[in-house]
Amino acid sequence: MYDVFVSDYYFFSNDVSFLFETKNKDGLLKLIKHKHCEELQDNIPIITKRNDLLMWNVVFARGIIKKGATKQYLHTIYNKFYKAILLANTIDALQKLELDIATAYIDILLDFVEVTDNLIINKIIGYLYVNIESSPTLADIAKALNSSVGYLSSCFKKTTGVSIMEYFKRIKIDRAKALLVSTEKSILEISTLLGFCDQANFSRNFKKIVGVTPTKYRNDLSSQKP
């Protein structure tokens, strides 16, 4: 495959863009994992994989912008992945990073409210994703968006049906699920990375939302692998 294209073959296919634009997260991640098997069979050079990933970072970011998402927060996510790609120095690390990148961008796309009247909701969601590894308060969010806590809370609850902080907790757990699958980080490392006060609090919230503990979630998925 790489004898024909001196880069990722999937740049020349509509498969990824179709799955991304139709918000098919499971299909996209499955396709990427299949692509990873092909890369290992082809013994793809690290420099090629790194360059490809730099390009995918652009492709996914542009896909979000095309949908009308604000650039104000997107550049922070883009820059974070850009730096991580340059630091990764093994095929395994780059492939795991690719899954993390695809997950992060498609999660934003899934949560993006494509209604002009809900611009403030999109700004809140963008802020939450950028700060997914920290613990901003409602006051922090209101200050960043130059608004009031009451107004933001009311708009968000009316549009989404949940509070800002409950929504924030859910996207943190979604990111944790991706990290449990695509990395070997410990439960403690993931809980710390995502800004939970301690591992017990993280595990309790994870089970409440997902239905099982983080350990069982990881073990169940591992047992399903061929």
Is residue 165 located within the same domain as residue 62?
A: no
Is residue 95 located within the same domain as residue 144?
A: no
Cβ neighbour number for residue 180 with a 10 Å cutoff: 21
Is residue 99 located within the same domain as residue 124?
A: no
Is residue 173 located within the same domain as residue 223?
A: yes
Is residue 133 located within the same domain as residue 184?
A: yes
Confidence of residue 70 (pLDDT cuts 50, 70, 90): low
Is residue 75 located within the same domain as residue 168?
A: no
Which residue segment(s) compose the domain that 97 sits in?
7-112
> At which of 112, 136, 151 does a domain end?
112
Q: What was the pLDDT predicted at 131?
A: 87
Is residue 106 located within the same domain as residue 126?
A: no
Q: What was the pLDDT predicted at 223?
A: 66
Chain mean pLDDT for the chain:
85
CATH number at residue 176: 1.10.10.60
Is residue 133 located within the same domain as residue 91?
A: no
**Is 50:85 a contact under the CB 8 Å cutoff?**
yes
Q: Which two tokens stand for residue 44?
A: 């793809």
Section 59-63 average pLDDT: 87
Q: What was the pLDDT predicted at 2?
A: 46
Section 186-214 average pLDDT: 93
Section 21-45 average pLDDT: 89
Confidence of residue 90 (pLDDT cuts 50, 70, 90): very high
> At which of 87, 112, 137 does a domain end?
112
Nearest residue to 218 (alpha-carbon basis) of 203, 205, 198: 203
User: For 214, left (φ over 0), alpha (ψ -120 to 50), or beta?
Assistant: alpha
Confidence of residue 224 (pLDDT cuts 50, 70, 90): low
